[in-house]
Amino acid sequence: VVDATGSVTLMFVDASCTYTGADATVSILNADDVTITADGSCYIADTSANITESAVYSDSVPLTLDCTGTLSIDGNSKEGITVSKAAFVIEKGDYILNTVGNGLQPKGKGTSLVINGGTFDITSGGDGIKNSKTDITINGGDFTINAGGDGISADTTLTVNGGTFDITTSGG
């Protein structure tokens, strides 16, 4: 749980984090902004059927992912990463998301998702990337998305300035 003042960096180095409670494995509640970095091979998972949000959840706190390694996230009961009512930026890194719900989910007014680069392997029971009342900008990256819903679902504005996409959907 991040409940702090100022800027916070969560640095994962060849780490594995699992959680069986009702909250997110990584729950970001208070800070000016949070950056998650991963070096090596890192794994985050929720293992509870009763989780209330996502494996990684940020509530009104800007979140940046800036990884030099691989960050694998299993959302075994809901979403992979949810950012609510704040900026969500992905700079670089390798991301593997396996989720029951949506893979990446920015939501709420005032939220935006900007992806500047990275490699994304998203397998989701819901949408691969789902926005709710937010804008999504993709400036680059390599995306392989296998989704039970939409590959990329944009309620408002989706801007694609670069990237490669291999998207398979079964219901969207």
Q: Which residues have CB under 8 Å from 62's CB, separation 6+?
A: 32, 33, 34, 83, 86, 87, 88, 89
Q: How high is the pLDDT of residue 32?
A: 97
Q: How high is the pLDDT of residue 33?
A: 97
DSSP bridge pairs for 74 = 45, 98
Q: How high is the pLDDT of residue 72?
A: 96
Tell me the whole-structure pTM to 2 decimals.
0.95
Q: How high is the pLDDT of residue 172?
A: 61
Instruction: Strand 152-153: give its sheet, edge to edge.
Output: 2-3, 26-30, 54-59, 79-84, 104-107, 129-130, 152-153
pLDDT along the chain (172 residues), means of 10: 95 90 85 96 83 86 96 90 94 96 89 96 96 91 97 91 97 65
